[in-house]
Amino acid sequence: MSSRSIGCHTRPAYPVLVLVAAALLAGCGTAGRPVAAPSAVWDGPSGAATAGQPAATAVAPTPPARSPSPSVTPSGAQPRRVFPVPARKVAYHPTHSAYPGTDIFADCGEPFVAVTDGTVLEVSRVDRFDRRGPRGPHNGGLSVSLLGDDGVRYYGSHLRVVRAGVDAGVRVRAGQQLGEVGRTGNANNVCHLHFGLSPKCTGRDDWWIRRGVVWPAKYLDSWRDRGNRSPAAEVAAWERRHGCPAAPRGN
């Protein structure tokens, strides 16, 4: 029985040599160039390889990518914003007495929700308002302020109750309930939410800034119509012009 020589471009003359040829061909590539031997196949944390191949060094599988934090938004994207009182019957006026802010009128007990994703800054669960004074620091009664991921402080006051677990430092999401509309503080016995927009001035209780420094109505109009108009630029511009005033303006 005769056979031809077996190389990278030859085949055995008879079927009986097929297995031998296959073994030799495994070391040949295109145009007669040798091909590197295949590496071991990863088969779990033991480092064992498939039969007939050398053991591979154990390498832990790459963990799946983690979802981005809720506080991180894609480049150029705006964080979601919602109207702060998602009740069917609400009313508000574009102006306010003495300083920028908006009174949103709704029944006592209606939810007050986070306008956007952010971190709770200040919480008041005790109504310290006294008409004999001092009036300014305690006018809001029960209140919550939230530092949004957009850098704006969102403030709601005159609440009937602040929900359990809503404390300074807690992360919240847009639409998450923070409390209930009420008439605590200097609310003149009328159920409503005082709503303010401001920058956060750190290091002291800046109630005269927290209560509001830019007019909210145009933003409320947008959010009520399911828009997403951002107050961030206007609030930042106000802070550049005024800094953090050390004393209140108005009453």
Domains contained in the chain, CATH given: 1-35 (no CATH), 91-231 (2.70.70.10)
Residue 191 region, left (φ>0) first, then alpha (ψ -120 to 50), else beta?
beta
Assign 134 to helix, strand or coil.
Answer: coil
C-beta atoms surrounding 35 within 10 Å: 12
Report residue 173's pLDDT band, with 50, 70 and 90 as the boundaries.
very high
pLDDT, one tens digit per residue, over 99-158 is 999 999 999 999 999 999 999 999 999 999 998 888 788 999 999 999 999 999 999 999
- Tell me, what amino acid is at 219? Y
What is the three-class DSSP state of 32?
Answer: helix
- Cα separation, 210 vs 150, in Å, equals 16
Residue 160 near residue 179 (C-beta atoms within 8 A):
yes
Short-list 74, 51, 76, CA closest to 230: 76
Q: Is the pLDDT of residue 168 over 90?
A: yes
Average pLDDT, the chain: 78
Is 0.75 surpassed by the pTM of this model? no
Amino acid at 243: G
Tell me the backbone φ, ψ of residue 5, rounded to 5 degrees.
-65, 150
Strand, coil or helix: 217:
helix
Q: Flag whether pLDDT at 71 surpasses 60.
A: no
d(CA 28, CA 38): 12
Mean pLDDT check: name the lowest of 16-20, 140-144, 190-194, 226-230.
16-20
> Average of pLDDT values for 163-170?
98
**Residue 95 class from Cβ within 10 Å (0-12 exposed, 13-18 middle, 19+ buried)?**
exposed
